[in-house]
Structure 1
């Protein structure tokens, strides 16, 4: 079972013209992307996520603002990642419990290996520990 890790995406451009960051194929993203979604206007007091997936892999990117992501893979230490640059993504493997908290104005881009399937989610922490413990 793999652990979450940061991905550094290329930054192309210059201050006088702006920048572009690109992720193509599976060179940096370790799966074919089947679903893309973004989260925005989330109040700072709200903690989102609070789930794990049986099969889905994800890469999260803070394209604006700051997102604090906490991950837990049973048998490994809990990890906290601060995403605050659009050139850095966080790979979240299946079986990793994760939560996200957003700064004001944060926008999260999520790239997922599968389409939405409610059966793929483990939404109860005790179930997560039972299934993967």
Structure 2
């Protein structure tokens, strides 16, 4: 599956830790950054794949599960560390669920928003893999 868990550099300090995300960490030019928060209990986010966009997901606070599918294999990854990111390349279906209370999901994207880049129907996604 075309995903990768990455370590985000952490500078430890008694006053509080600091992590920095630059081009070298995510391996793509950063064109958009957004975050999900106040996700109600039981709600799900995602439910799509991208044709070209690559993303890095980070649990800045709390935890959530990312269910990934490449058309052949399904895998679930729990994100719960602010110094760990999940790189998701194009062509991977993703669903985010089981958000803990107060969780924040940061998304760093390789492209600006373009609706035409989204595949929002799972059956259409599967058909695109054949």
Q: Do they fold alike, i.e. is TM over 0.5?
A: yes
Report the alpha carbon displacement of residue 44 of structure 1 after superposing the two structures with TM: 2.3
Over 6 Å off, 4+ runs = none
The two structures have a TM-score, normalised by structure 2, of 0.95
2:99 corresponds to 1:109: no
Paired position in structure 1 for 2:17: 19
In the superposition, the TM-score normalised over structure 1's length comes to 0.93
Q: Which residue of 2 aligns with 1:7?
A: 6
Alignment correspondent of 1:70: 67
Segments of structure 2 that go 5 or more residues without pairing to the other structure are none
Instruction: Specify the alignment match of 1:122 in structure 2.
Output: 119
Q: CA RMSD in A?
A: 1.0
Per-residue Cα deviation, 1:19-43 (whole angstroms, up to 9, x for no partner) = 0001122x22021010000110001
Map 1:93-108; keep pairs closer than 5 Å.
93-101=89-97, 102-108=99-105
Equivalent in the alignment of 2:79: 83
Number of equivalences: 129
Q: SS at the partner of 1:18?
A: coil
Equivalent residue of 1:128, what SS? helix
- Structure 2 distance, partners of 1:30, 1:78, is 24
Q: Matches of 1:80 and 1:44 in 2, distance apart?
A: 19
